[in-house]
Structure 1
Amino acid sequence: MKKLSQKEALELAVNTLQKNGALKENALPLALGIIDAENQGIKSHGFHYLPIYCLHLKCEKVKGSASPKLNVISNVAFKVNADNGFAHRAISLGMEKLIPSAKENGISSLAITNSYNCGVLGYHTKNIAKEKLIAIGCTNAPASIAPLGGIKPVVGTNPISMAIYNKGEVKIIIDQSASVVAKSEISVRAKSGEKIPEGWAFGPDGKNTTDAGVALKGTMAPAGGYKGFGIGLFVEIMSACLTGSNLGVEASSFANDQGGPPGTGQFFIAVNPEKFSNTFEDKIAKIIQSIESQEKARVPGSKRINNYKKNINNEISIKDELYDKIISLNK
């Protein structure tokens, strides 16, 4: 197991992305997201994904020289064309307008189009929530979930996230996909040869499978059956239809080098609770207390928040095989 300081890990991520074709201004926002995922304990979106990002730079599925453009629609509505580059830079650019607008006007919105995999969606909502705002975000993905009664995928795992600031820090991060698990969790197991639990996914024939490789050729199981598909469809409408981005059925895979840029989208809403209620903070504190007072209950996002606090000043561990792969990408 290779151990790196926080600074060394960030430099490794930035340098690797640059070596494979990304401009520094595009590499750094993504690298910060990778390190944050590692610190939150979300390894599937940390260094594990770095070789895939590099593959997509090489095959031009993502544009390393992208120059995102901001469009001010109104004083509370903004849109960024990501130019088929990494989502992280486009989102960061949009937040420069979204956050002050929400603080001043009470609510503001941000659409991202011609985008790409945004990594951990909750990372972006957390960054908004740090500004004492309610943060809501959603992103679509290549189709992998079939409608109830069907076997052909129509929407992606399409996560939705909400982050809430309370009493000095971000206390709640809801970040969940429309599927039982994120597709990356199956990809990780497919690489290691590990079986997946029954109920995570279906094979191409629409039947349950515990074979991760077969699952990647089939469809993801929606969380809560038809309700999960409904959430996925909601996100598809907000992230693709509303932003003018590719639908899941039009987008190329996030996992391989087949096809051109996926061109997916994201949509964010920021709300200043002080503009709407003078009791919001106390109400949130009461909800949190009502959860934490129960012995085995956990506030959504508390695990990743606690992981981050514990790991932020510690070294980051990377499996030797993965580290060697990353080093080879720097040659």
Structure 2
Amino acid sequence: MLHTSAALTALINSVLQKAGASPAQSEPTARALVAAEASGLPSHGLSRVPMYVAHLKAGRVIGNAVPFIANQRASAVLIDAANGFAFPACRLAIAEAIERARATGIAIAAITNSHHSGMSSYHLDAVAAAGMVGIACSNSPAAMPAAGGKRPIFGTNPIAAIFARSGAQPISIDLSLSEVARGKLMVAAKKGESIPLGWALDAEGQPTTDPQKGMEGSMLPMGGVKGAMLALMVELLVTTLTGAHFGAEADTFFEDEGNQPRLGQAFIVIDPGALGGTAVYAQRIEALIAEMLVDEGVRLPGQRRFDLLAKADAAAGIEVPAATLEAITALA
């Protein structure tokens, strides 16, 4: 059964407010979760609602938090999410980064004391709409070991980038630094499905096809040592510069009880006009895309996400698993 984005957003908004979130916290959070569902990423979509509600009730998220600017210079700003949901803080950070990049050419907006930030590319859509280039990264509760280690130290630490285009959808790249996002294990566990070998290890460090054992163990980094090094880079960027918790200091998202995760995010926004110029940027990006598309079968990064969003709008609805919708409706 199809459900409109507006109806799903209203439902989630209501559920989060009932659990103790203010409208300023619930509205951007609901919009982000629905957008992830419509984009074909249910691991960061509606399946997260019961978890968010549980975190509100357990005090892991402060429902009436108000993100604020904690420190700033011309091209840099630190946003304190005040232990609320990440999405209101990310909205503020992106707006600040765009405004500052327009003035100075480049800006970084970082966030501390934050929560699960969902689909990283979602936050960057506003950057592309402003005709700019954006980079995003975030840490998350420990799920992957350091290179050569066994204990989970780093989160799956997603990174994303967006490159605006004139008259066309932007290039949008979004990836987790684990072999797959940990949310995929959560979805598989709820469905009673197995996972492929190579995604995760159990608590004893052995390869597993059981998603629950994988969640209790550790995720494998994408590309082995190279993925672990990239995860370290993200961890350092979003914690040492902001004071946010390391992934190893944040309790897992997949338990109701636990500490306030106090995670970090960072967004870098670049105005092409400050470098080679907007005309040069537009010509060069289209030249590269044309070269890529000479080979049949090449699909531009982000194209599937934008196609799914357009399809959801055109069909006036999003297909939501019955079990997911029932779990959310029960909370309402």
Specify the alignment match of 2:303 in structure 1: 302
- Find the residue that maps to 1:239 and give its secondary structure: helix
Does the 8 Å contact 1:151/1:205 carry over to 2? no
- Structure 2, unaligned stretches of length 5 or more? none
Aligned partners of 2:106 and 2:268 also within 8 Å: yes
Q: Secondary structure at the residue paired with 2:265?
A: strand
- Offset at residue 210 of structure 1 (A): 0.9
Over aligned residue pairs, what C-alpha RMSD do you find?
Answer: 1.3
- Equivalent runs, 1:280-295 vs 2, <5 Å: 280-295=281-296
Which residue of the partner structure matches residue 117 of structure 2? 118
Aligned-residue offset at 1:169? 4.1
Residue identity matched to 2:329: I
Counterpart of 1:12 in structure 2 is: 11
Deviation of the 1:227 alpha carbon: 0.3
Aligned to 1:145: 144
- Runs of at least 4 residues off by over 3 Å: none
| Alpha-carbon distance, 1:265 to partner | 0.6
Q: CA deviation at 1:72?
A: 4.6
SS in 2 for 1:179: coil
Normalised to the residue count of structure 1, the TM-score between the two structures is 0.96
Q: Which range moved further: 62-71 or 266-275?
A: 62-71
Q: In structure 2, what is the equivalent of residue 246 of structure 1? A: 245
The alpha carbon displacement at 1:256 in A equals: 1.3
Question: How much has 1:148 moved relative to structure 2?
Answer: 2.8
Which letter maps to 1:144? Answer: A
**Paired amino acid for 1:55:** A
TM-score (norm 2): 0.96
Residue aligning to 2:331: 329
Aligned-residue offset at 1:68? 1.2
Task: For 2:188 and 2:203, locate their aligned partners in 1 and report how far apart those are by CA, in whole Å.
Answer: 18
> How far apart are the structure 1 equivalents of 2:192 and 2:326?
20
Identity, in percent, stands at 35
Q: Letter of the 1:290 partner, please give it.
A: E
Deviation for aligned residue 1:312: 2.4
Asked if the contact 2:245/2:261 (under 8 Å) is kept, the reply is: yes
1:175 alignment partner, SS class = strand
Is there any run of 5+ residues in structure 1 with no aligned partner, and where?
Answer: none
Pairwise CA distance, 1:260: 1.5
Which residue is 2:211 aligned to?
212
In the alignment, which residue of structure 2 is the partner of 1:177? 176
Match of 2:82 in 1: 83
Determine if contact 1:246/1:262 at 8 Å carries over to the other structure: yes
State the 1:126 CA deviation: 2.0
Map of 1:1-331 to 2, 5 A cutoff? 1=1, 3-278=2-277, 279-313=280-314, 314-330=316-332
- Greater alpha carbon shift after TM alignment, 103-112 vs 87-96: 87-96
- Contact 2:128-2:170 at 8 Å conserved across structures: no
